[in-house]
C-alpha cells in the first residue's frame, strides 16, 4: 500500500513556472513519507501549460526527485497520436508510469475507450495508470470496463478511481478482475481513503497538502490497526473536505502549501479561482484545528 502525491505546478508573480518552489514541495512531501509523485495531473494545472512547459515541469520533477521514489507523468490527450507522443516523451524523460484518462469525444463508448488504451500500450512500453475521473474526460467508466481494460491491456492494471461512490466501485472492479493483479488508488483529495482501503484499494494518489496524514492512515491500516487508522482519518477529514472544493480547491491547496513554507506564491493561472476573505478566514479556522490534530498525532 502506498501514497502518491499529485504535485502542484507553482508559478511566480509573473505567472511563470517556479522550479524552486516545486523542489521545496517535493522535499516537504518526501519528508512526509510519500511513496511517489504524480506530475502533470489535473490539479497540476496541466491544461494551462504549454507543451514546452510540460517538458520543463516533468524534467524539474525528475531532477528534484533524483530517483528516490517513482514519478508518474500525466499524458492524457484528446487525440491518440498526441497521447502516444506525450507518453513517449514521459518515458524518455524517466517517468516510471504514465496516467491517462479516456479522450474527450462526442460519441465515445466502451469499445473506443478500451481501444485507446490498447493502442497506447502497443506503441509505448510503460505501465499505464487508468484515470477514472468523469469531470475531465466527460465519460464515466463502468467497473466492467475498467476490469475489461485490465484483462485485455496488461500494462494498464492500475486504476486511479475518482468516480464516487469510490469504495463501492473499488469492490466491484476487484470482484470483476479476480485473478488479475489490479491495484486501485483513490483520489478526490483523500476524502474516502479509509473506506477505499476497507474495500480493497492499494492506497491514495491525490494532491492533499498534508500527505503525512494519508501516509499514517495507510500505514496503520496496513498494520491491521483499523481503529487507530479510523481515528486519524476522521480527525482530519474536515481539512480534506474543505480543500477539495470545486472551483477553488487548487487555490486552497496552494495557499496551504505556501503556509507550510513550500511555495513562494499561491497563484493560480487564469481562469482558476481565487480565494476571498471569507474563505481565507474559514481556512484559518480549519488549519488551526488540523495543526492541533497533527500535533496530537
What's the confidence (pLDDT) of residue 293? 60
**Does a structural domain hold residue 276?**
no
C-alpha to C-alpha distance for 198 and 221, rounded to whole angstroms: 9
Q: Kindly give the residue spans of alpha helices, DSSP state H, lying in the chain.
A: 19-31, 51-65, 80-93, 110-123, 134-137, 143-152, 166-176, 193-198, 211-222, 226-243, 249-259, 277-296
Residue with cell 497521447: 83
Cβ–Cβ under 8 Å, residues 263 and 10: yes
Model pTM above 0.85: yes
- Helix axes of 19-31 and 51-65: crossing angle, nearest 10 degrees: 40
| Domain with 200 in it | 2-230
In a domain, 238, yes or no: no
Angle at 146 between CA 142 and CA 148, to 5 degrees: 110
Integer-rounded Cα radius of gyration of the chain: 18
Which one, of 150, 93, 90, lies nearest residue 123 by Cα?
Answer: 90
Rounded Cα gap, residues 225 and 233, in angstroms: 12
The C-alpha angle with vertex 273 and arms to 271 and 279, in degrees rounded to 5, equals 170
Tell me, what DSSP letter sits at residue 21? H
Report pLDDT digits (tens) over 195-230.
Answer: 999 999 999 999 999 999 999 999 999 999 999 999
CA count, 13 A, side-chain hemisphere, 243: 26
Residue 204 lies in a domain: yes
| Residue 277 resides in a domain | no
Kindly state whether residue 161 falls inside one of the protein's structural domains: yes
pLDDT score, position 292: 58
In a domain, 136, yes or no: yes
Q: Is 139 exposed, middle or buried (0-12, 13-18, 19+ CB in 10 A)?
A: buried
Whether residue 271 has a cis bond before it, omega within 30° of 0: yes
pLDDT digits (tens, 9 = 90+) for 176-192: 999 999 999 999 999 99
Confirm whether 116 is domain-assigned: yes
What is the pLDDT at residue 106? 58
C-alpha cell at 231: 481515528
Ranges of residues in the chain whose predicted pLDDT is under 70: 106, 292-297
Do the beta carbons of residue 44 and residue 74 sit within 8 Å?
yes
- What CATH number should be reported for the domain holding residue 51? 3.20.20.70
- Grid cell locating 48: 494551462
Strands 158-161 and 97-100: unpaired
Say what the pLDDT of residue 201 is.
98
For residue 164, CA distances in Å to 101, 181, 187 come to: 16, 22, 10
- According to the model, what pLDDT value does residue 295 have? 60
| Structural domains in the chain (count) | 1
Which residues face 38 on adjacent strands? 6, 72
Reference 72, options 2, 155, 5, 132; nearest CA is 5
CA distances from 131 to 74, 239, 280 (A): 9, 24, 31
User: Residue 15, by phi and psi: left (phi above 0), alpha (psi -120 to 50) or beta?
Assistant: left
**Is residue 252 a part of any domain in this protein?**
no
Amino acid at each position: 500500500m502506498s501514497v502518491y502525491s499529485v504535485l502542484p505546478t507553482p508559478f511566480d508573480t509573473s505567472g511563470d513556472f517556479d522550479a524552486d518552489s516545486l523542489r521545496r514541495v517535493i522535499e516537504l512531501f518526501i519528508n512526509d513519507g510519500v511513496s511517489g509523485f504524480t506530475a502533470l495531473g489535473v490539479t497540476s494545472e496541466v491544461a494551462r501549460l504549454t507543451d514546452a512547459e510540460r517538458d520543463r515541469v516533468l524534467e524539474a520533477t525528475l531532477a528534484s526527485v533524483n530517483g528516490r521514489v517513482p514519478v508518474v507523468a500525466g499524458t492524457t490527450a484528446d487525440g491518440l497520436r498526441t497521447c502516444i507522443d506525450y507518453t513517449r516523451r514521459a518515458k524518455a524523460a524517466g517517468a516510471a508510469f504514465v496516467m491517462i484518462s479516456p479522450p474527450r469525444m462526442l460519441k465515445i463508448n466502451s469499445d473506443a475507450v478500451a481501444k485507446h488504451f490498447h493502442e497506447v500500450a502497443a506503441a509505448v512500453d510503460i505501465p499505464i495508470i487508468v484515470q477514472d475521473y468523469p469531470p475531465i474526460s466527460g465519460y464515466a467508466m463502468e467497473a466492467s470496463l475498467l476490469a475489461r481494460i485490465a484483462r485485455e491491456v496488461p500494462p494498464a492494471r492500475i486504476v486511479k478511481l475518482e468516480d464516487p461512490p469510490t469504495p463501492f466501485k473499488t469492490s466491484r472492479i476487484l470482484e470483476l478482475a479476480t485473478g488479475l493483479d489490479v491495484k486501485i488508488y483513490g483520489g478526490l483529495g483523500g476524502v474516502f481513503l479509509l473506506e477505499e482501503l476497507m474495500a480493497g484499494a492499494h492506497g491514495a494518489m491525490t494532491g492533499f497538502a498534508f500527505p503525512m496524514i494519508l501516509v499514517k492512515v495507510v500505514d496503520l491500516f496496513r498494520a491491521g490497526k483499523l481503529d487507530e487508522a479510523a481515528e486519524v482519518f476522521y480527525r482530519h477529514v474536515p481539512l480534506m473536505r474543505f480543500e477539495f472544493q470545486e472551483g477553488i480547491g487548487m487555490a486552497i491547496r496552494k495557499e496551504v502549501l505556501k503556509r507550510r513554507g513550500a511555495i513562494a506564491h499561491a497563484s493560480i493561472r487564469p481562469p482558476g479561482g481565487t480565494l476571498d476573505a471569507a474563505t481565507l478566514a474559514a481556512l484559518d479556522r480549519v488549519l488551526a484545528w488540523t495543526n492541533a490534530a497533527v500535533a496530537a498525532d
